[in-house]
């Protein structure tokens, strides 16, 4: 099973809040995500300044984005391990919940860990469009919640992999096999 360390590198989020979110995210991943997408994960809180073991995926809660307008994104480390980043201070400044961005990036990282999957759409006019496998973008908003406090991906929201990516507003061309994808602030998509 995939191991994911949730690391608090933020000055605006308390360790206790991150630990509470790990419990809620674990429910979301194991109960709601894994049965549909076929990948479960064992999540664990990792204290600040504690090295993450090799081969462990990481979701880092930081303060501010290094990419203008991004509230979070997922990419690969130099070792090729999946890495999600959540920018809590930017989320709060934009009136958003950092936990929604954490849920968004975690689920997308689990669905497409190496950021190389897409869906091809052959248009009637003969053109071809490629859509990144970004499963949370179709329902991206801070509007829904579950008893765990997180947006919940259910069969209703996630009909199929093809449907969720077909509805994604993040169309890509086939110029690159791998790209970084981000959860953007409103108006910056």
CA-angle at 68, arms to 64 and 71, nearest 5°? 55
Architecture of domain 2-184: 3-Layer(aba) Sandwich (3.40)
H-assigned helices in 38-153: 88-93, 98-111
- The list of the chain residues with pLDDT below 70 reads 138-189
At 112-147, the pLDDT tens digits run 999 999 888 888 998 888 888 888 876 665 444 444
At 87-106, the pLDDT tens digits run 999 999 999 999 999 999 99
Note if the pTM is more than 0.85.
no
Q: What is the mean pLDDT of the chain?
A: 78
């Amino acid at each position: 099973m995939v191991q994911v360390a949730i690391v608090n590198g933020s000055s605006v989020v308390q360790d206790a809040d991150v630990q509470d979110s790990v419990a809620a995210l674990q429910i979301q991943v194991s109960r709601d995500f894994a049965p549909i997408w076929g990948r479960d994960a064992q999540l664990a809180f990792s204290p600040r300044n504690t090295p993450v073991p090799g081969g462990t995926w990481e979701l880092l809660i930081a303060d501010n984005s290094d990419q203008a307008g991004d509230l979070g994104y997922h990419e690969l480390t130099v070792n090729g391990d999946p890495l999600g980043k959540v920018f809590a201070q930017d989320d709060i400044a934009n009136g958003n919940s950092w936990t929604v961005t954490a849920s968004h990036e975690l689920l997308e990282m689990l669905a497409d860990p190496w950021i190389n999957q897409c869906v091809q759409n052959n248009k009637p006019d003969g053109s071809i469009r490629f859509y990144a496998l970004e499963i949370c973008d179709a329902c991206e908003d801070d509007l829904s919640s579950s008893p765990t406090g997180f947006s919940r991906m259910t069969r209703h929201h996630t009909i199929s992999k093809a449907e969720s990516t077909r509805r994604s507003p993040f169309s890509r061309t086939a110029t690159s096999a791998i790209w970084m994808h981000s959860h953007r602030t409103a108006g910056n998509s």
